[in-house]
Amino acid sequence: MTNSISYETCLKEMFSLRRFGIKLGLETIQDILKSIDNPHKKFKSIHIAGTNGKGSIASFLTAILCKAGYNVGTYTSPHLVKFNERIQINNKPVSNNDVINSWITVKNIPLKIREATFFEYTTAMAFFEFAKQGVDIAIIETGMGGRLDATNILSPIISVISNISLEHQSYLGDTIEQIATEKAGIIKPDTTVITGAKDQITLTVLINRAKKNNSPIYCLDQHFKTKNHENNSFSYSGIYKKTSKYEKSLAGDFQIDNAAVSIAVCEVLNNQGFNISNKSIKEGIKTAKWPGRLEIIKKEPLVILDGAHNLDSAKNLAAFLSQNLNSKKLTLVLGILDDKPYSEMLALLLPFCNKLVITKPVIERSIEPEKLYKQAKKYISDIKIVPKVAEAVKYAIDNTLKTNAVCIAGSLFVVGEAKESIQTEYRP
């Protein structure tokens, strides 16, 4: 069949939907999916919510399940460079034609209540594609929150909640308890829950929700545990299994928690009839990739991409930089969105920097560089504003000695623009 529109036209139509903003609720996604024969009911799924770590867990699980021989769909957001990254089959983005066909399928569906948002349509597209390609299981990441997120139309076989901190407060609430309650909304009756959350307020909310739904819940540091070793390795003692040693691919000590949650999920999957060997788990943990998160794209100078788009991820980046710079002088390229705690993020990151390049990604919610400059000068004197991300990255790399380092951070939108501008020129 010849497509009636081009890929570029398709993207233009989809991205124009952003003007409808964020609208939480399940009625519209339910309408769309019902009109295309409820594709989300044709495959098994694992549903992941949380503040940080969702994508890493999705990456680990996808790699493990692919190694185990399963046909795996993965739906995450946002994309860094190309829309297709959001919808993947066996770790590979779907084709341009797949995007066009799924968009054509969903875009003209008559809706009863309101116009669908970008995220609602793309969620429906992902579910349609997974059903069409006959995935055995899909790894689905929430967009925002959980209870009213479009992905919560699913009836998963396992619900996963990574960790929870303050985020999207205008939508999810002003306290950890309120936000945890929204995230806990993905917990379904009689469905196992795995969580990497450690905060007691969060755990209380999750455990109470699980109990109300008659859902078994397994918690990191209680039902499964880890011990950190050198060289990206760790030991895991599980829900059912004895201690085993693993080597992770993703940088940062915090990824051990995400890997542990993923292994715990595999334990439960095996208990449900899946066949995932420890060899497949080890290979998946060792080979998983999650672009734009502590991703090294060049070694001389060392160039690191990391979204670090909220306070917790900025803390993780700061810890990584403190442990791994090895006396290298650091130039930080930074752009932040206006709904983020930029003052606190700057206070965490700038003590490790010798030079700061402030930039601005192409998105309406970007903080103006001059505003960041006023706050940043409290911590560092060598600051330059280069508004366009591609130019800021080029300036930073060109003016950094091969023995030193550049880190590009503050927003996944900054990282996406940076990655697009340099992915063909610089390689690890």
pLDDT grade, residue 1 (50/70/90)? very low
Q: What is the pLDDT of residues 58-116, one digit of tens each?
A: 999 999 999 999 999 999 999 999 999 999 999 999 999 999 999 999 998 988 777 88
Instruction: Determine contact, residues 325/411, Cβ cutoff 8 Å.
Output: no
pLDDT grade, residue 3 (50/70/90)? low
Single-letter amino acid code for the residue at 185: G
Q: Which residue, 117, 137, 153, is CA-closest to 66?
A: 137
The Cα 173–Cα 145 span in angstroms is: 10
Instruction: Determine contact, residues 334/372, Cβ cutoff 8 Å.
Output: yes
| Maximum separation of any 2 CA atoms in the chain, in Å | 60
What is the model's pTM?
0.92
**Of the candidate ranges 18-32, 294-308, 356-370, the one whose mean pLDDT is the lowest:** 18-32
Three-class secondary structure of residue 396 per DSSP: helix
Q: What is the pLDDT of residue 25?
A: 77
The Cα 151–Cα 86 span in angstroms is: 13
What's the half-sphere exposure (Cβ side, CA atoms, 13 Å) at 402? 1
Joined tokens for residue 16: 């124009």
Q: What is the average per-residue pLDDT within 295-316?
A: 91
Q: What is the average per-residue pLDDT within 294-311?
A: 91
Q: What is the average per-residue pLDDT within 261-280?
A: 97
H/E segment holding residue 303: strand 302-305
| Cis bond upstream, residue 78 (ω within 30) | yes
pLDDT(2) > 60: no
Three-class secondary structure of residue 83 per DSSP: helix
- The percentage of residues in the chain with a pLDDT greater than 70, rounded to a whole number, is 94
Q: What is the pLDDT of residue 19?
A: 55
Joined tokens for residue 386: 């280069």
Instruction: Determine contact, residues 264/224, Cβ cutoff 8 Å.
Output: yes
First to last CA, the chain: 40
Crossing angle of helices 7-16/96-107, nearest 10°?
A: 50
Q: What is the pLDDT of residues 358-401, one digit of tens each?
A: 999 998 889 999 999 999 999 999 999 999 999 999 999 999 99
Say how many residues make up the chain.
428
DSSP per-residue string spanning 322-344: HHH-TT--EEEEE--BTTS-HHH
Backbone angles phi, psi at 9, to 5 degrees: -65, -40
Q: Which residue, 162, 156, 144, is CA-closest to 25?
A: 144
Q: What is the average per-residue pLDDT within 211-220?
A: 98
Q: Which residue, 155, 145, 252, 162, is CA-closest to 199?
A: 162
Q: What is the pLDDT of residue 195?
A: 97
Backbone angles phi, psi at 299, to 5 degrees: -110, -20
Q: Which residues pair with 45 in a beta bridge?
A: 138
Place of tokens 């000068």: 377
pLDDT(428) > 70: no
H/E segment holding residue 244: strand 244-247
Q: What is the pLDDT of residue 174?
A: 66
Domains and CATH numbers, the chain: 7-287 (3.40.1190.10), 295-422 (3.90.190.20)
Indicate the burial class of 253 (C-beta count within 10 angstroms; 0-12, 13-18, 19 or more): middle
Q: What is the pLDDT of residues 330-356, one digit of tens each?
A: 999 999 998 889 999 999 999 999 999
Q: Which residues pair with 385 in a beta bridge?
A: 358
**Of the candidate ranges 23-27, 118-122, 203-207, 389-393, the one whose mean pLDDT is the lowest:** 23-27
pLDDT(167) > 90: no
